[in-house]
Structure 1
Amino acid sequence: MNKLRMGIIGSGGIAQSRHIPAYQQLSEQVELFGVYDVDYEKAKQAALVFAIPNVYDDVQALFKEVDAVTICTPNKFHADLAEQALIAGVHVLCEKPMAMTVEECDRMIAAEKTSGKILSIAYHYRFMKEPRAARQLIQENEIGDPMVARVQALRRRKVPGWGVFTNKQLQGGGSLIDYGCHFLDLSMWLMGNAKPVEVTGTTYNRLSKTPQQVNQWGTFDHETFNVDDHVTAYIRFDNNVSMLFETSWSANIAEDKEAVSISGSDGGLDVFPFQLNKAQHGMLLNTSSQWTPGDEDPGLPQAANFVNSCLGLEQPIVKSEEARRVSQVIEAIYESCSTGRSIRLD
């Protein structure tokens, strides 16, 4: 079997900590062929560290030499790079979120359909052990019809003080588009890729704009901070499911919290930690797993699914249309806050 030739676009933290190491573990199926970055010296250094043979200062030249690319750039460049790659006949795994706007997502999907190539988005929480177990139980009808989801992705004081995470021009937002997007995607996937129909949201950044911040993840300028650090939303879906959603980089809470809880007609479940909750046999029963199969590092099964999809052996677990819905909700939350009204979705 011929190996898939993989190109890396953007050689920063997420490329070096997740994607490149995962592909190295799949060396029988994929060859790390080349790396491109607008900072050529940074690309050269990454290539040296990971023994990647080719470095490019022209992304079009990279497209001509590879079968697939993994896009690890700031959000602003996702759509253009993905569109160019697909038009060039190259499969794409793009870091989350899919794009800055729904219109950009639509352009990416149009290029995907025209090219016949694969476009998947790196929502790696779907590949964690606990969510995969929860998905299996839901599909086996253990909780009946999902009705209410409660989703929290909260950090106490962890605004990323590095990279471009607080740069609205390059990222499009803050805690919601960076962190909360994972939990929107995960919960919507668990509920059967439910279609959102109405969104009401509020965003905050008061804590991060106050002087002398206590922050565990580096420093940032409170005077120029202009993205959200805390977001709440209420989301309705077409299958009569509702979601209570909250995410934050900077909240005055006792400790960080990641929680996805889904109540259904016949039972409910918590994802972190994994637990099934039912009323049976005249009792209230909470069931936990003694052992759950899967990888400790979700980056590996994510990479394997993309590689196998490109090779025609699997279907992508994260499909572009599903990732578009996440971006649609994010866009609606921001619009709801700015207009002071709920947003109806097509």
Structure 2
Amino acid sequence: MKIPIAIVGCGGMGGRHLLGLKELASSDMNNITLSAVCDLRRDNAEHLADDAEELLGSRPLVFDDMKRMAEAMPDLQAVDITTDARAHHLVASTALDLGLHVLCEKPLALTIRGCNRILTAQKRSGKYLSVAENYRRDPMSRLTKALLDAGSIGRPELFMDISASSGNQIIITPWRHKKNMGGMLLDGGVHNADMMLYYLGDIDQVYARIALWEKTRYRPEGDGAVSGFYQRWFGEMPESIEATAEDTLTAVVNFNNGTMGQWTQSYAAHGRGFGHKVIYGSAGSLRPGGTRNGAPPVLAHDGQDEITGSPLLDLVPDFHLDAITSNLFGADRLASYDIPFPAADRKLLAIELYELAACVLNGTSPEVDGFVGRRAEALCYAAFESSVLNRPVSLDEIESEQVGSYEAEINEELKL
């Protein structure tokens, strides 16, 4: 059985999700029919519909208004929201109130107040809400989690997540440098936040500093400098923009289980880029596996050779990937894989889409529901608010809106 869905938001991310649907449709576990596409820019919707016809063999109906779409298609069951984050709270809440299940791209909303608006709508509607967090779904992330749960490094004590890159170039699209549209520390940082919570459990509080170093961003040279998902809009990119979203974060993170965390993320680093993640425990260290590149985790114990690749599987004999991941990646026990980034990306998106449909058909719950999605975003906002207040900030303070000075101007502009 397949459920009919619509993609709402037909820009670059909508195109990526369409490729995910193609990946799912090419499997023997497809449970979705793309029935419609919707975008305020009708030319974007028509373009995505043309691509869908080429990829899937049939052309979805085209709309520029979601309410009219729901009225015209009473059998529609769900929407896949791939608009910019600025619109998530409006689009998701409206969809839920229209009686539609929702898969929403991360971040769940542009602010925590927006997240809470969506969660209220979900409670009112009783429909499913899933947040598209793809990193944790990678087979190498699943193996990393299994190794941690099996005690391969003993008691986790220190987590480090450090990255620096990008200089002063516009990263993918100009809006990623605008505070009132998200900014890279939210748009990219929420991935890191979700993975911290996935690997090591809940977080109490954060003490952080954020900064905006590159106030002017410049268009990269050549349309090959942006991903193929976004090349159609490269011609609309200005030569330069004035950035308003901070581009650098460094934070001390306190996990509830006692693990200490150090999180540094910069999108303004010139020269040689850098990236490193590692979890130290009472009996060893673990470098998490890669996401969308197939790189295996690396386990190290004092005085012994590193363990990576297939020997890791011997340490987790009960580790198995779920059915859809096994189907798309070709095995239920993987220690690495050799798949190009675009293919791995669309497989992970296919898994997210499959899961939503499975929830609707079988009555199961999504792994990353609205509360999980909000928690990851709360970690980002705890760092932002900590920098403003110059004190540690708890995630509970953020979710309950006891603290919200950083997001206040965004909420005001969004009329939240």
TM-score (norm 1): 0.87
Establish whether residue 54 from structure 1 lines up as the match of residue 61 from structure 2.
yes
Q: Which residue of 1 aligns with 2:321?
A: none
Quote the offset at 1:55 in angstroms. Answer: 0.8
The equivalent of 2:86 in structure 1 is 76
User: What code does the residue aligned with 1:162 have?
Assistant: T
Q: Could you say which residue in structure 2 is the equivalent of 1:242?
A: 260
**Does residue 108 of structure 2 align to residue 98 of structure 1?**
yes
Distance in 2, Cα, partners of 1:275 & 1:252? 28
| 1:241-285 CA distance string (max 9 Å, x none) | 22111112221352252x3322223333111443343437xx334
Change (3 A) 1:308 1:152: farther
Whichever residue aligns with residue 205 of structure 1, its letter is L
Identity %: 26
Residues 1:25 and 2:23 aligned together: yes
Partners of 2:101 and 2:50 lie apart in 1 by 25
SS at match of 1:186: helix
- Output the TM-score relative to the length of structure 2: 0.74
SS in 1 for 2:103: strand
User: Which SS does the other structure have where 1:292 is aligned?
Assistant: coil
Change (3 A) 1:214 1:48: closer
CA RMSD across the alignment: 2.5
1:162 maps to which of 152, 170, 173: 173
CA contact (8 A) 1:202 1:333 kept: yes
Structure 2 unmatched runs, 5+? 54-58, 227-233, 311-333, 397-416
2:163 and 2:35 map into 1 onto residues whose CA distance is 36
TM-superposed CA distance for 1:30, in Å, is 0.7
Matching residue of 1:114: 124
Q: Structure 1 pair 80/279, CA: closer, same or farther in 2 (3 Å)? A: same
Question: Where in structure 2 are the equivalents of 1:1-346 lying within 5 Å?
Answer: 1=1, 3-16=2-15, 18-27=16-25, 28-51=30-53, 52-64=59-71, 65=73, 66-157=76-167, 158-160=169-171, 162-169=173-180, 171-172=181-182, 174-192=183-201, 194=202, 196-206=203-213, 208-209=214-215, 224-257=242-275, 259-271=276-288, 272=290, 273-279=295-301, 283-290=303-310, 292=335, 296-297=344-345, 298-312=348-362, 314-346=364-396
Bigger fraction of residues in helix: 2
Instruction: Give the conservation status (yes or no) of the 8 Å contact 2:164–2:265.
Output: yes
Distance (Å, rounded) in 1 between the aligned partners of 2:360 and 2:386? 38
SS of the residue 1:164 aligns to: helix
Residues 179 and 247, structure 1, Cα contact 8 Å, conserved in 2: no
Partner SS, residue 110 of structure 2: coil
Give, as a single letter, the amino acid of the residue that structure 2 aligns with 1:204. Answer: A
| Distance apart, 1:220 and its partner CA | 6.0
Q: 1:339 to 1:22 in 2, by over 3 A?
A: same
Question: What is the DSSP-based 3-state SS (H/G/I as helix, E as strand, rest coil) of the residue aligned with 2:176?
Answer: coil
